[in-house]
Amino acid sequence: MSEPLVTVEKLDNPARVALIRFNRPKVLNALNDALAEELAGVLTTLDADPSVHVMVVTGNEKAFAAGADIAAMAEWDYAKVYNDNYITRHWEAAKSLRKPLIAAVSGYALGGGCEFAMMCDFIIAADTAKFGQPEITIGTIPGLGGTQRLPRAVGKAKAMELCLTGRFMSAQEAEAAGLVARTVPADKLMEDVLATAGKIASMSLPAVMKVKESINAAYETTLTQGLQFERREFHGTFALADQKEGMRAFVEKRKPDFKNR
C-alpha cells in the first residue's frame, strides 16, 4: 500500500478537532491532482462528521505547500486542463465547508499552497513562514484564487507587487498586511493552533457555523445585504437551546454546557 498523500487524525485532546497533514515531504508538499482528490474527500467527510467541529490543515516544518506540482503540470495542454476542470474539480470542495478550517503554516506557502491557505478560514503562521505567488516566474499566473483572495487580504498594491514579481513575503510582513491572524514561534505553532482550534470546538457548533457564514457573506454581498444577513442569523440564534444556555450560564456565573442545538 502506498503512503496516503494526506493524513488525518481525529484528536482526543483537544476534543472535536481533526488534524489534516499534507504528506509529500520530498517535494515540499507540492499539490498534485491525487493529493487534491484525497484532500477533497477528507474535508467533505470531516465536515459531515458530527464528532468533528473544527479542522486544522498543516504541512511540515519546511513547507506548508510549495505550490501546485510543476513537474506534473509541465506538459499539460489547454484541452487537458479545461476538459479536466483542473483545480475547480477538487479544490472547490474547501469552499463549501460549513465548519471552520484553520491553516497552520510553517515554511513555504507558495503558489497553490498560499492560495489554499487563503481558502481556509484563517491562517496562523510560524515565524519561519514564507508566502508568495511565484507563478509568474514559471510563465503562468495564480489559478487557485490568488489574484482574487490576495488583494482582498493585503490590498491591491501589495498583491500586484507580489504576483508580478513572485517575491516571497515573511510571516511578519504577512501578519502586518492582514493575511495572517497571528504569527507564533515555529516550535509553538501546533500547540498554539490546536489550543485555538480547541477553544472554537468548545463553542456551540451552530453559532460557530453562523459566524463563519456571516463573515463570508461580507465578501460576497453589499454592506446592506451583509448586515441584513447577519441580523437574520443573529435573530436565528434565539431559536437555539445553546443561546439560552450560554446567556443563562453567564447570568448564573457558571460555564455553559452547549448541546450544539
Minimum CB distance to ligand CAA, residue 162 (Å): 12
Bridge partner list, 17? 11, 54
| CA 184-149-17 angle, 5° bins | 50
115 included as an active-site residue: yes
Determine, following the binding rule CB under 6 A, whether residue 134 of this chain makes contact with ligand CAA: yes
* Cα separation, 129 vs 84, whole angstroms: 32
> Which lies closer to ligand CAA via its Cβ, residue 33 or residue 192?
33
Q: Which residue has the cell 439560552?
A: 244
Determine, following the binding rule CB under 6 A, whether residue 142 of this chain makes contact with ligand CAA: yes
Footprint of ligand CAA on 64-123 (CB under 6 A): 66-71, 108, 110-112, 115
- What ranges make up the beta strands (E) of the chain? 6-11, 17-22, 54-58, 63-65, 101-105, 108-110, 122-126, 130-132, 169-170, 182-184
Using CB under 6 A, count the residues that bind ligand CAA.
21
174 included as an active-site residue: no
Cis peptide before 14 (omega within 30 of 0): yes
Determine, following the binding rule CB under 6 A, whether residue 242 of this chain makes contact with ligand CAA: no
> Which lies closer to ligand CAA via its Cβ, residue 167 or residue 261?
167
226 included as an active-site residue: no
Annotate each residue in 146-165 with x if it binds ligand CAA (CB under 6 A) or - if it does not, as one string. Answer: x-------------------
Minimum CB distance to ligand CAA, residue 107 (Å): 8
Minimum CB distance to ligand CAA, residue 143 (Å): 4
Q: In angstroms, how far is CA 246 from the centroid of its own chain?
A: 28
Q: How many CB atoms lie within 10 A of CB 89?
A: 13
Order of strands, edge to edge, in the sheet holding 101-105?
6-11, 17-22, 54-58, 101-105, 122-126, 182-184
Of the ranges 117-125, 140-148, 182-190, 211-219, which one interacts with ligand CAA (CB under 6 A)? Answer: 140-148
> Which lies closer to ligand CAA via its Cβ, residue 62 or residue 232?
62
CA distances from 62 to 28, 59, 108, 110, 130 (A): 7, 8, 6, 12, 10
* Cα separation, 169 vs 166, whole angstroms: 9
Minimum CB distance to ligand CAA, residue 31 (Å): 7
Q: Pick the catalytic residue: 67, 115, 174, 207?
A: 115
112 included as an active-site residue: yes
Of the ranges 47-55, 62-70, 184-192, 218-226, which one interacts with ligand CAA (CB under 6 A)? Answer: 62-70
Q: What is the binding site for ligand CAA (CB under 6 A)?
A: 27-28, 30, 66-71, 108, 110-112, 115, 134-135, 138, 142-144, 146
Catalytic residues: 68, 112, 115, 135
